[in-house]
Amino acid sequence: MLLLRSVSDLQREIDDRISVEEKLAESEFLLTAAGNVGKLGGWEYDPATGQFSWTATCRNILQTDEESVRNESDLLRFFAEPYQLIIRAALHESTALGHSWDHELQLTTRDGIRKWVRFSATPLLNAEGQVSKIRGIIMDIDRYKTLELKLVKSIDQMAQKNSQLQSFTHILSHNLRNHSSNIALLADFVDESTLTKDNEELFQKIKTVSKHLNGTLDDLSQVIKIRDNQLEGEQLNIREVTRQVLSVLDESLHTSQAEIAMDFQEEEIFFPRIYLESILMNLLSNGIKYKKDHEHPLMRLRFYRSKTGLKVLEYSDQGKGIDLSLHADKIFGLYKTFHKHEDAHGVGLFLIKNQIEAQGGNIQVFSKVDAGITFKITFNENA
């Protein structure tokens, strides 16, 4: 009976060991498969012997066998000199100071193929606090690193081209300004009383063209300033700034008998003052210009916090509106006008959009013909 119990216990122990070995084999298989898919291999370094051991995936990355990379000198042969210095320093700091490390390095495989790898390690300490082993991984990141370097190169090229374009724009604006100023100055010197009727008509056309050219250059200068300068914001009271803008527009508001409703649920906004004044000025002056014929302008300003926590300035009127099915992609374009008016230049909405986006915000528009227009400006105070 005792003998049968011992055999039974022995069988159970054997079964348990087989089960453990099967689980270990399964885990090893899964780890190897994961390493092959992720191109991630493990390695170990023994500071006492100076010897390395590598997993199969590591050897595949290096395109070599176990015996070819036994010590530090063997390993360094795969790396160019700048990277050799990094590896030497990293191994020394791990061994002497117990430091972990993680580097992106470029190696050359035994077959002469260059590839980027992520090479990292963590030291293991014995009971005395000394480094007994250094274990780490090598991951093949060549595909991602190559794409990253191409992206960085593209960004640098774009930055260089943008700088060249800005320089060209400044030079062009400056030179045109000189010529237009000279034309206007020469026109002022002309004694119009000495001109014939035909010449006088021609001269008036020249003065008109000169005036429009100067206006265009003024608009161009504003755009350049917005795109060149990231203005610093300041804490503003929206009600106070609106009151100042209304005082500037007082004559136009009075003449047109405009009505303005204000609903400010929030009072403060962090934004450049000159931009906020410009935005309010353009919105309100457009409301006056593009009112329905024979009607008084009715405008509304709302300032509130959205469900996402961002502050929103909403302007709406009951004016002529715009057919967005035809003009949605043009409404914020430079020199785009949608109604006949002697003061329509197509600059105001372009400036508003650029000023908002320069500070990390955005603007939306909703409109129908003869049903007015609504602009919804969302501010990003954390930009």
Reported as a single tens digit per residue, the pLDDT across 21-68 is 555 555 454 445 444 544 788 899 999 999 998 988 888 888 887 678
Judge whether 280 and 241 are in contact, CB under 8 Å: yes
Q: Which residue has the higher pLDDT, 219 or 94?
A: 94
Rounded Cα–Cα distance for residues 352 and 99 (Å)? 54
Q: How confident is the model at residue 193 (pLDDT cuts 50, 70, 90)?
A: confident
Of all helices (H) and strands (E), which one includes residue 139? strand 131-140
Check residue 212 and give its pLDDT: 64
Q: How confident is the model at residue 202 (pLDDT cuts 50, 70, 90)?
A: confident
Reported as a single tens digit per residue, the pLDDT across 289-340 is 888 888 888 999 999 999 989 999 999 998 888 888 777 777 787 666 665 6
Q: Which residue has the higher pLDDT, 149 or 330?
A: 149
DSSP conformation class of 371: S
Rounded Cα–Cα distance for residues 11 and 18 (Å)? 10
Q: Which of 4-8, 181-185, 300-304 has the lowest mean pLDDT?
A: 4-8
Reported as a single tens digit per residue, the pLDDT across 221-256 is 666 666 666 667 889 999 999 998 898 888 888 888
Rounded Cα–Cα distance for residues 69 and 60 (Å)? 12
Residue 51 backbone phi and psi in degrees, to 5: -105, 145
